[in-house]
Structure 1
Amino acid sequence: MAGKTLTPLGIAVLALLNEGPMHPYEMYQLLMSRKEDRIVKVRPGSLYHAVDRLVENDLVREVGTEREGNRPERTTYEVTDSGRDALAARISEIVAEPIPEYPQFVLALSEIHNIDAVHAVSCVRRRIRHKLTEDAELAVIESAVTARAVPSIFYVGLRFMRAMIAGEIAWLEKFVDDIETGRIPWLTEDMASEMAARRAGHTSNNGGDLCKPK
């Protein structure tokens, strides 16, 4: 399996096993305790499937099984040298080469003129409240790992998330202010009619084909 074919969950699994051998249930517990479900979609079933795929591609291997009481037998895995290489390659690629992620929020912002201005402001303020709550939760996590003297390199992703949230909140607050003060004029019926007329004229000038050069 080439590094670029690793799924986000595959990356998370390889990163965990790079810390040491463990079984899938332990991986799941660690991901949840570290709140990594905020950055990668993880379910017990999908985690086991991801491990199976990594085994098939020789990126991880079984190292033993164990059983506690009447619980089902658990298989422990470790990362292979090929797995470490694939993990490093994929991380390097993602960090170095931006790829289109097609965020739905940006799409909604691009089309926000299709709703009433008052309602738009209400929706944006609601999002700001959600983001403030999210940042407060991340702040608690950051305080906890700092108190445990966890090296900061292990939670740079968390710090990046908080920085992104802070930037989004600042932008949204400015956006609301621009709407309410009129610095961003909202779409009116007259503006919509004018735009429709321009489109009609453009279509007519191009013989009905928007892709045809004048």
Structure 2
Amino acid sequence: MPDLTPLAYAALGLLNEGPAHPYEMFQTMVHRRDARNVKVRPGTLYHQVGRLVDLGLAEAVGTDRGGNRPERTTYAITDQGRTVLHDGLLHLLAEPADEYPVFHLAVAEIENISLAEAVAALTARAAALEGRRADTDEILGVVTAKDLPERYWLDVSYVRAMLTAQIEWLHATVERIQRGDVPWGGPDAGADAPADTTMNSNSKDTTR
């Protein structure tokens, strides 16, 4: 099975709905706010559709020209494309992938900043995520108002659940740090930080 990018899977999904030209696909993705899942740019989408054609997963089925606009090629998914889309989605849904979010790295190295800075940064992140959750609630309001079957917007409810979990963890962690439940030490801990007696301040636990 070819190694496809998230945008390629999104493009295959659109072509599985029916033949379309890349600009029409781009407009549909913008309308559906698919940028919450993949980075969508017209040039990148055109490139992905071209790669799908090279792989035999899509094919050109016609061209049209409207007024003075450039000629547009319409593409359709092939039988092989439907198989790859089906099998690829099953794999992505069932098997967790090794991912390396930068926030995980930042949390792993958080002892290198002061307690006050850590609290401020985590609080700012929580506020930013609350803004994203508000945007997600707006999207949920739109799709539910259209009475769309839930299978078409399960991703939105998943994103909201993940945002809520992150926000709750951030607020709880900030409270624990401020109470002193998370000992803070090290060269840049700040004068108000509780002493950390769990390990030498000049060394780091390398077993985690």
Provide the TM-score with structure 2 as the length reference: 0.90
**Aligned length in residues:** 197
What residue identity is the alignment partner of 2:14? L
State the partner residue of 1:204.
none
Call closer, same or farther: CA 1:162–1:147 in 2, change over 3 Å.
same
State how 1:183-198 maps to structure 2 within 5 Å: 183-189=181-187, 191=196, 194-196=200-202
CA RMSD of aligned residues (A): 1.7
In the alignment, the residues of structure 1 paired with residue 24 and residue 105 of structure 2 have an alpha-carbon distance, to the nearest angstrom, of 38
Corresponding residue number in structure 1 for 2:115 = 117
Q: How is 1:40-59 mapped onto 2 (pairs within 5 angstroms)?
A: 40-59=38-57
**Where does the alignment leave 5 or more consecutive residues of structure 1 unmatched?**
200-214
Alpha-carbon distance, 1:188 to partner: 3.9
Between the aligned partners of 1:197 and 1:191, the Cα distance in structure 2 is: 12
Q: Does 1:101 align with 2:99?
A: yes
Q: 1:150 aligns with which of 129, 145, 148?
A: 148
Rounded Cα–Cα distance in structure 1 between residues aligned with 2:111 and 2:37 = 30
Percent same amino acid among aligned pairs? 43
CA distance in 1, matches of 2:116, 2:178: 9
Indicate yes or no: 2:87 matched with 1:81.
Answer: no
CA spacing shift, 1:149–1:170, aligned 2, 3 Å: same
2:186 and 2:202 in contact (8 A); partners too: no
Equivalent residue of 2:99, what SS?
Answer: coil
Supply the AA of the counterpart residue of 2:120. Answer: S
Q: Please say which structure displays the higher CA radius of gyration.
A: 1
* AA matched with 1:9: L
Letter aligned with residue 144 of structure 1:
V
1:78-125 residue CA offsets vs partner (Å, 9 max, x unmatched) = 101100000011111111111111110011011111101111111111
User: 1:174 maps to what in 2?
Assistant: 172
Structure 2 gaps of 5+ residues are 188-194
The CA distance in 2 between the partners of 1:198 and 1:76, in whole Å, is: 58
The Cα of 1:195 is off from its aligned counterpart by 4.8
Q: Counterparts of 1:70 and 1:177 in 2: how far apart (Å)? A: 61
Cα distance between partner residues in 1 of 2:5 and 2:64: 28
Cα distance in 2, alignment partners of residues 143 and 21 from structure 1 = 29
State the distance in 2 between where 1:76 and 1:47 align: 13
Q: Which has the higher helix share?
A: 1
- With normalisation by structure 1, the TM-score equals 0.88
Instruction: Give the secondary structure class of the aligned counterpart of 1:194.
Output: coil
Structure 2 CA distance, aligned partners of 1:68 and 1:138?
A: 36
